[in-house]
Amino acid sequence: MTTAFLNDSYLPLEEARISPMDRGFLFGDGIYEVIPTLGGKPVGMGAHLSRLQDGLDALSITNPKSETEWRELVSALVQKNAQHLQSDSVGIYIQVSRGTVMNRAHGYPEDIPPTVFAFAFATAAPPVEDINKVSVFSVITGEDKRWQRCNIKSTSLLGNVMHFQQGKSAGKQEIILLNHRGEVTEASACNVFVVKDGVIMTPPLDNQILPGITRKLVIDSLKLEGIEVQQKPITKALLDNADEVWLTSSSKEIAPVTSVDDKPVGSGKVGDVWLQAIRVFNRHKFEL
């Protein structure tokens, strides 16, 4: 039985109850994070908590916990669920909504305590450092029709859900989105990297793109070993002619894409630069 956390209490996930008048339910008025752990050790914890704070600040929600308390919560959920999940790879989902109200009104209510909910779940094992054994992705592209504040990790994810379903309905594992200028923003649940002639590139951060923690860890880990990642606009033409394409997220780490719009990426096989990147990432991901 999965143990969850709700408003300062640990309880079975099946027994967790949130009021239908919670603004997270009524408006999607909240922020979430997914923190990966491996062998009980969190990956990118500081960066995840910093992004959580940025999101709460953007929505004018008071952070209900200190950094130490968040770290203790993550550790406790990993420990309480270790026997049940029986996985070395565990994700911790954290959601903070503005709280529960007695009337539905768009304006921010004052002086209500935030709702804090968290639970643990088993995640897929990290990618293996082997070109011949790693799982690969096939994707399509599509017009990005989401709202213009994608840099906020809001629980209002309907746009992302619809785009993910668009890719799934096409028989693919993801969709890479393009803005009105025909430039890559991100995938429905991942950031995007491309490699051309040995140069690693990813779209620059702005309001169109979630500042992914794995994206940051990839850039920072490569920098530690003297490898530059260029943050620049990625056109559809560059995507179509890339030697390698990667998706990054907390659950996928660095996932190679071998097909875009039913056309092979480069040779159609996992590339050597991906192998170098995943090895560097694995060397540094716990220290960043």
278 lies in the same domain as 178: yes
Q: What is the DSSP letter of 98?
A: -
DSSP strands (E only) in the chain: 3-6, 9-12, 30-38, 41-42, 89-97, 115-122, 137-143, 174-178, 184-187, 191-196, 199-202, 229-231, 244-249, 253-260, 263-264
Measured in residues, the chain has a length of 288
Cα distance between residue 195 and residue 263, in whole Å = 16
Q: What is the pLDDT of residues 100-112, one digit of tens each?
A: 999 999 999 999 9
The domain boundary residue, chosen from 122, 154, 170: 122
Range of the domain at 200: 137-284
Q: What is the pLDDT of residues 59-98, one digit of tens each?
A: 999 999 999 999 999 999 999 999 999 999 999 999 999 9
Identify whether 133 is a catalytic site residue. no
160 lies in the same domain as 257: yes
Q: What is the pLDDT of residue 252?
A: 96
Which CATH number belongs to the domain containing residue 252 in this structure? 3.20.10.10
Identify whether 252 is a catalytic site residue. no
Identify whether 285 is a catalytic site residue. no
Q: What is the pLDDT of residue 195?
A: 98
Cα distance between residue 270 and residue 268, in whole Å = 7
Confidence of residue 132 (pLDDT cuts 50, 70, 90): very high
Confidence of residue 168 (pLDDT cuts 50, 70, 90): very high
Catalytic position from the list 174, 183, 186, 253 = 186
What percentage of the chain reaches a pLDDT higher than 90?
Answer: 99
170 lies in the same domain as 270: yes
Instruction: Kindly report the backbone phi and psi dihedral angles of residue 61, in degrees, each rounded to the nearest multiple of 5, phi listed first.
Output: -105, 130
114 lies in the same domain as 190: no
Q: Please report whether residue 143 resides in a domain.
A: yes
Cα distance between residue 78 and residue 92, in whole Å = 8
Question: What average pLDDT does range 187-205 have in this prediction?
Answer: 98
Catalytic position from the list 73, 153, 174, 216 = 153
Query: What average pLDDT is seen over the chain?
Result: 97
Q: What is the pLDDT of residues 230-263, one digit of tens each?
A: 999 999 999 999 999 999 999 999 999 999 999 9
Task: Tell me which H or E stretch contains 72.
Answer: helix 67-85
Question: What average pLDDT does range 44-63 have in this prediction?
Answer: 98
Identify whether 67 is a catalytic site residue. no
112 lies in the same domain as 150: no
Which residue from 244, 157, 160, 154 is spatially nearest to 194, judged by alpha carbons?
244
Question: What average pLDDT does range 6-16 have in this prediction?
Answer: 97
87 lies in the same domain as 144: no
Q: What is the pLDDT of residue 9?
A: 97
Helix, strand and coil in the chain, % to nearest 5: 30, 30, 40
Q: Please report whether residue 181 resides in a domain.
A: yes
Domain count of the chain? 2
Q: The whole model's pTM is what?
A: 0.95
**Cβ atoms of 255 and 135 closer than 8 Å:** yes
Catalytic position from the list 52, 178, 210, 288 = 210
